[in-house]
Structure 1
Amino acid sequence: MLGQLLDGRYRIIQPLGSGGFSQTYIAEDTKLYNTQCVVKQLQPPATDSKTLQLARRLFDSEAQLLHKLGNHHQIPQLLAHFEENQEFYLIQQFIAGHPLSKELRSGKTWSENYAIALLQSILQPLAFVHENHVIHRDIKPPNLIRRYSDGEIVLIDFGAVKQIGTQVVNHQGQTQITMCIGTPGYMPSEQGRGRPRFSSDIYAVGIIGIQALTGLMPDHIPEDPHSAEMHWRHLVSVSPELADILDKMVRYDFRERYQSAAEVLAALENLVDPYVLTQQSATRTYEPIFHTSNLQTCLNFPQSSVLQQCRQAVSLLPKLIYSVKESAPVKRSQEESGFYFQWLIANVFGYAGGFFLGFGILAIAGNFAAVCFWGLAVGVKEWFVLHRKVSFPFWSWILVTTLAFVIPFYFFGLNNWQYFALLHGLIVGLGQWLVLRRLVHRSGWWVLTNVLGGWFCGLISGIVLVWLLQKPKTINKR
């Protein structure tokens, strides 16, 4: 799929994940300034006409639903949907962030107020989903993205769309579901029997809350052997009020749970001091935003005996944020300098080391083999440094760099170094530009730099590369 153009517009550039009936990719919209988006490819389990007709009808209705749900700022917008070669595609907004699974690691426990803030951030978009009579069906940390721009949780990967890959038509023309939608540990018993309800989503969110407090994965949370209820309170120190809410969210009997996300939000609103909630909404408490000891005390919210001191620490937050912003350029400058010297060293060792190794060891195999090794050495060393800053297929960078050595050698050999260097700079500039243009703005400067730089392109291109990467088209890596 990599490099494939879908609907004459969306070029696949990177795989994101796969399931039993879907594949997810990052793509660039070639008709909208190469803006990145997410492509979900849905494959019906069969290609007979009745199954395809059912899948097509279901796909259209679910696409309309996703378009409507995308009006909420914590749900990705649906940009397009289409069918191609008997496969169905959804194009959705790309969310720059990290999955919640990076925060909820096994053995990592969080404070009570972190858990409350997390529950609220998940339940707010879920309440909107339930108001539109939709059950998500697959709420779990990998499907919850912590957005970098504002720290909010974004709800992705709705299970309703997955029905397209789970339904077939039997010989009698009846629809059959071939796979249960959901994830063990976050899926309650009624959903496992194929009868999900709004409270099934509530169960999953409650499990995530308990997971945050205890540091236990869902399958390690103890259960009462007689009632099958979660038995976790003895593992943590938590207020009885929050524990009661979580217990009600994860009741084994769905009739005893909260029946909608809005009900849980209403219960949580009465749980925390309004002053703390106001401060908390302004300073999200997920790791790793700040690391100073004073602020850490504030963010963990100590017991009531020292609450006044905590509030005084919170009052100093604007000054602290200002000081962090003031020091950011220094840190960024240090990072850029470190990257520049890594790039410079990679070019020095690539060009010089590759030349001496290639012609010293492979000369017996001929100059062509030595030149190929020379190009590979430069390409691999440059990619090793660059891939930590941006995400792209490694073979493309190494291939164009190697060709930039082989083609000049084919035309000029090794006797005319001036023409060799000029053509090398032109080819490496154009070839690597084809890769960089998807990642940064003003990438045309890369061609000019390499043509004029010649053999000094490592010294000059490193400066230009630092400048280009200051404003990437999207956040590629962190």
Structure 2
Amino acid sequence: MICCLNPDCPNPLNPESNKLCQTCSTPLIPLLRNRFRVIRVLSDEGGFGRTYLSQDVDKLNERCVIKQLAPKFQGTWSQKKAMELFAEEAKRLQELGEHPQIPTLMAYFEQDHCMYLVQQFINGENLLKELQQKKIYRDREIQAILLDLLPILKFIHDRGVIHRDLKPENIIRRHIDGRLSLIDFGSSKQFTARVNNKIGTSIGSHGYSPIEQIRDGKAYPSSDLFGLGATCFHLLTGISPFQLWMEHGYGWVANWRQYLRSPINAELEHVFDKLLQKDIQHRYQSADEVIRELTQKQSLLQPLSGKSATKLPITQTKYLPKKFSVLRSLVLVSAVTLLFGFGDSWYQQFQSIQTILSSRLSKPHHRQGNSEAVLGQPPKISLGNIALANTLKSTENSVLSVAISPDGQIIASNSDRTIKLWNLATGESISTLNGHSQKVNVVDITPDGRTLVSGSDDNTIKVWNIATGKQIHTLIGHSDSIHALVISRDGKTIVSGSDDNTIKVWNLATGQHIRTLVGHQFWVRSIAISPDAKTLASGSFDKTIKLWNLTKGYTIRTLVSAKTITSLAISPDGKILASANRDRTIKLWNIVTGEEIITLAGHANTVTSISFSPDGNTLASASRDRTIKLWNIATGEEIITLAGHNNTVTSVSFSPDGKTLVSGSEDRTIKIWRVSG
């Protein structure tokens, strides 16, 4: 079918063979900008345009969302204002799309007197639909939703953007990992409201938007916090704030407790009270304030060692998707990625497989052996001097981090709030470590192989005895999620990077905090320590790499990147720093002079993780393009591409002897690759 792009067409779907719309006779456009195939209408914006579900034919028919602006009042102030706002929307998405829980801008263009904004499709379900299926949310689930959304609000508010339309329909829970994404930063809905109102003040949705926004057209960070409170009230009670507003105006917020189905805990009740204040002066003024109040009590209860603290909730619910069917498990490469939200159609899967096969045919060293898999017993796929030896299935959760013990016998990986230990030789699960109250993002193992360290969304670092599975320490100090951890080669120091923009140095033996390194302006998501433990490299979403004197805690130099830094690694001889970022490349730097040596290019999407081989001759890189590449450090040439994961490859690590490469993925698997020759 082909979709008519006339926003007033009552029946826009047409057979592919049609040249004109069978309903309104508008000429049909097979591909917008010779790239985007419009599939169907997602929503109608009252004649001002429509929002469409589409496919990007340049990216294996990856799904995307196209917003159309087709103002009727040509040549008027209304049209000019609407186009200005649409352009502003595109600029906002271009900046805000750096956040992994906000759709990425893919294109912005004009065609046939209409403006089009193309953005990432979030494959999931909005919270209104989830509410209709789920019926009841409990305290802990509401608290989890708040803790997932508040950092997003902090991110946009720090950039001078107010969402102005928070409500369940504009929050999507992603199928792939259960995380929440915030959508609809204005576009057609805001344009319609502004144009139809002479002074342009009525922005937002009644019941969810505060009085200063509806009455005066003024919006502040605390205005979004009211919308967040009203959204969570709706989920908790099942009662629409719009209906209450229609009946009681803003009077309902003073009596919100009477609509509760059952009592809630005192801490959450206090937070709701401050979120739903009618007067802006009495409301929370920043997302940080709410986060502090939600986490302060749990942080105070968190012990320095031994037993785990009161658990904070996670955002996933029992209504997330079930396991893939047996048939789909046999498909080598799926068409679903986190970043772009591929659909699940057989056609798209076929396209992905066809592309990979074509790539292998064009590169003789990418040979694949027997492709007939037995469920639970994957084939040994030969790829030159690399062989896929085993695939480990990690429950229902994405694998974000993997680490190998120094003796090469144990693999550690995250599994939602837990850590799993695996026997590398047999692929059997050895044990599960429980203690974190939210998702674990990163794991590492000490050089002596006795201790494991983990960082989590619960803002803590835990130190574990691998042999017993018991906690040794809980390190508290960060005020936001921890996504980066590294242990010095002498096993004495832990360094952590956090979304609170800081780096902390800890004594591993005692768990004591040594110092905090401050300088990055945004999340610190990657760190690496030189072999002599004297130099620390940190990479941030502020698009910089900082080199620090780890012993004294001062900055040596700052390297500037064009994109956010996603991963760092230092060569075994301590001379080369490798950095990966969102421009799909890897850069090699002289760690002494800070000069760029070479850029490695070849991945088709963001590089997520990099690792040097123990001899320093090879670099492994993992990517959102679902592949792993091995690079010759001396020449900068690509040695081989390993294809086998069917979603983003999040983590890659060499064993200490260099004979094994382990990769983790959002496809919920860990793959063990054997290096021979």
The normalised TM-score by structure 1 is 0.56
List per-residue Cα deviations over 1:261-295 (Å, max 9, x = no partner). 222112211244655676644xx4423259xxxxx
Asked if residue 130 in structure 1 is aligned to residue 123 in structure 2, the reply is: no
Matches within 5 A, 1:329-478: 332-333=325-326, 437=347, 440-441=350-351
Q: Where does residue 192 of structure 1 map in the other structure? A: 214
CA RMSD of aligned residues (A): 3.7
Distance 1:264 1:146 in 2: 21
Change (3 A) 1:131 1:142: same
SS in 2 for 1:130: helix
Residue correspondences, number: 310
SS in 1 for 2:73: coil
Shift of 1:59: 2.7
Distance 1:17 1:208 in 2: 21
Q: Where does residue 254 of structure 1 map in the other structure? A: 280
Shift of 1:86: 2.4
Amino acid at match of 2:229: G
Task: Give the fraction of aligned pairs with identical amino acids, expressed as a percent.
Answer: 36
Q: Where does residue 208 of structure 1 map in the other structure? A: 231
Kindly indicate whether the alpha-carbon contact (under 8 Å) linking 2:164 and 2:223 is maintained by their aligned counterparts in 1.
Answer: yes
Kindly indicate whether the alpha-carbon contact (under 8 Å) linking 1:242 and 1:271 is maintained by their aligned counterparts in 2.
Answer: no
Partner residue of 1:7 out of 29, 33, 37: 33
SS in 1 for 2:63: strand
Kindly indicate whether the alpha-carbon contact (under 8 Å) linking 2:64 and 2:121 is maintained by their aligned counterparts in 1.
Answer: yes
Distance 2:249 2:138 in 1: 28
Q: Where does residue 425 of structure 1 map in the other structure? A: none
Distance 1:100 1:107 in 2: 10
Distance 1:42 1:269 in 2: 42
Change (3 A) 1:57 1:184: closer
More helix by share: 1
Distance 2:165 2:187 in 1: 9
Distance 1:226 1:179 in 2: 18
Partner residue of 1:229 out of 253, 256, 279: 253
Change (3 A) 1:226 1:268: closer
SS in 2 for 1:61: helix
Q: Where does residue 107 of structure 2 map in the other structure? A: 80
Change (3 A) 1:43 1:102: same
Shift of 1:208: 1.9
Shift of 1:161: 6.2
List per-residue Cα deviations over 1:158-178 (Å, max 9, x = no partner). 126644444559xxxxx9446
Matches within 5 A, 1:28-427: 28-48=55-75, 50-105=77-132, 108-159=135-186, 162-168=189-195, 176-177=198-199, 180-193=202-215, 194-219=217-242, 229-234=253-258, 235=260, 236-272=262-298, 274=302, 275=308, 280-281=313-314, 284-289=315-320, 332-333=325-326
- Rg bigger for which structure? 1
Which region of structure 1 is more displaced relative to structure 2, 189-198 or 175-184?
175-184
Shift of 1:232: 3.1
Shift of 1:89: 0.9
Which region of structure 1 is more displaced relative to structure 2, 159-168 or 3-12?
159-168
Shift of 1:38: 0.7
Shift of 1:181: 2.4
Distance 1:277 1:155 in 2: 28
Change (3 A) 1:165 1:7: farther
Distance 1:74 1:214 in 2: 26
Distance 2:148 2:310 in 1: 12
List per-residue Cα deviations over 1:176-201 (Å, max 9, x = no partner). 44672222221222222222332221
SS in 2 for 1:41: strand
Kindly indicate whether the alpha-carbon contact (under 8 Å) linking 1:80 and 1:92 is maintained by their aligned counterparts in 2.
Answer: yes
List per-residue Cα deviations over 1:79-133 (Å, max 9, x = no partner). 1111222221110011111111122239922221111001111212111111111
Shift of 1:231: 1.5
Change (3 A) 1:261 1:22: farther
Kindly indicate whether the alpha-carbon contact (under 8 Å) linking 2:45 and 2:188 is maintained by their aligned counterparts in 1.
Answer: no
Change (3 A) 1:84 1:276: farther
Kindly indicate whether the alpha-carbon contact (under 8 Å) linking 1:186 and 1:218 is maintained by their aligned counterparts in 2.
Answer: yes
SS in 2 for 1:101: helix
Distance 2:263 2:283 in 1: 23
List per-residue Cα deviations over 1:312-341 (Å, max 9, x = no partner). xxxxxxxxxxxx9xxx57xx23999xxxxx
Distance 2:32 2:328 in 1: 37
Kindly indicate whether the alpha-carbon contact (under 8 Å) linking 1:43 and 1:164 is maintained by their aligned counterparts in 2.
Answer: no
Unpaired runs of at least 5, structure 1: 170-174, 291-323, 337-389, 393-435, 445-470
Shift of 1:220: 5.5
The normalised TM-score by structure 2 is 0.41
Amino acid at match of 1:333: V
Shift of 1:442: 6.8
Shift of 1:441: 2.7
Which region of structure 1 is more displaced relative to structure 2, 213-222 or 119-128?
213-222
SS in 1 for 2:234: helix
Distance 1:128 1:226 in 2: 28
Distance 2:219 2:107 in 1: 28
